[in-house]
Amino acid sequence: MTITQLVSHEPATGKELWHGSVSDIDACARRARRAWPKWAAMPLTDRIEKLRRFANQVRDDAEKFARLIAKETGKPLWEARTEVDAVIGKVEISVTAYAERTGKKKLDSAAQGTAAVRHKPHGVMAVLGPYNFPAHLPNGHIVPALIAGNCVIFKPSEKTPAVGEFLVACYHKAGIPEDVVQLALGEVEEGKALVAHREVDGVLFTGSVQAGIAINRALAKNPGKIVALEMGGNNPLVMLHTPRMDDASALIVQSAFTTAGQRCTAARRLIVLESVFEPLMEVLLPTVRRLLVDEPFADPAPFMGPVIDNTSAQRLAESFLYLMTEGGKPLEHLRRPDESKPFLTPGVIDVTEMKSRPDVELFGPLLQVIRVPDFDAAIKEANNTRFGLSASLIGGDAQDYNRFWANTRAGIINWNRPTNGASSAAPFGGIGLSGNHRPAAYYAADYCAYPVASTEIDEPRATLGIGLSEAE
Domains in the chain and their CATH numbers? 5-231+435-456 (3.40.605.10), 235-415 (3.40.309.10)
Residue 426, phi then psi, degrees to nearest 5: -130, 165
Q: Where are any strands of DSSP class E within 232-333?
A: 235-239, 267-273, 329-332
| Residue from 95, 103, 111, 180 nearest 144 by CA | 95
- pLDDT score of 1 more than 70: no
Neighbour tally for 373: CB within 10 Å: 10
Beta-carbon contacts of residue 1 (< 8 Å; ≥ 6 apart): none
Predicted local distance difference test score (pLDDT) of residue 346 = 98
pLDDT at residue number 256: 98
Beta bridge partners of 155: 128
Are 234 and 409 in contact by the 8 Å Cβ rule? The answer is no
The percentage of residues in the chain with a pLDDT greater than 70, rounded to a whole number, is 99
Strands 5-9 and 267-273: unpaired
User: Could you tell me if 128 and 152 are in contact, meaning their C-beta atoms sit under 8 angstroms apart?
Assistant: no
CB burial of 174-183 (b: ≥16 within 10 Å; e: otherwise) equals bebeebbbbb
Mean pLDDT score of the chain, rounded to an integer? Answer: 96
3-class SS of residue 224: coil
For residue 184, pLDDT over 90 is answered with yes
Cβ-contact 101, 435 below 8 angstroms: no
Rounded Cα gap, residues 270 and 411, in angstroms:
18
Record the pTM: 0.96
DSSP category for residue 220: T
State the pLDDT at residue 103.
87
Amino acid at 433: L
User: What is the spatial distance between Cα 41 and Cα 35, in angstroms, rounded to a whole number?
Assistant: 11
Catalytic residues: 230, 264
Rounded to whole angstroms, the Cα distance separating 278 from 282 reads 6
Query: Looking at residue 462, what is its pLDDT?
Result: 84
Amino acid letter for position 307: V
Q: Rounded mean pLDDT of 414-424?
A: 96
- Overall average pLDDT of the 37-58 stretch: 98
| 318-340 pLDDT, tens digit each | 999 999 999 999 999 999 999 99
User: Considering only CA atoms, which of 413, 325, 415, 318 is closest in space to residue 366?
Assistant: 318
Q: Is the pLDDT of residue 471 over 80?
A: no
How far is residue 152's CA from residue 36's CA, in Å, rounded to a whole number? Answer: 9
> Facing residues of 435 across strands?
230
pLDDT tier, 167 (very low <50, low <70, confident <90, very high otherwise): very high
Asked if residue 124 lies in contact with residue 150, where contact means CB atoms within 8 angstroms, the answer is yes
Q: Is the pLDDT of residue 112 over 90?
A: no
Greatest distance between any 2 Cα atoms in the chain: 99
CA distance 142 to 300: 35
CB 10 within 8 A of CB 68: no
Specify the pLDDT at position 51. 98
CA–CA distance, 271 with 254 (Å, rounded to integer): 16
pLDDT at 463: 86
Integer Cα distance of 174 and 180 in angstroms: 12
How far apart (Å, rounded) are the C-alpha atoms in residues 67 and 79? Answer: 10
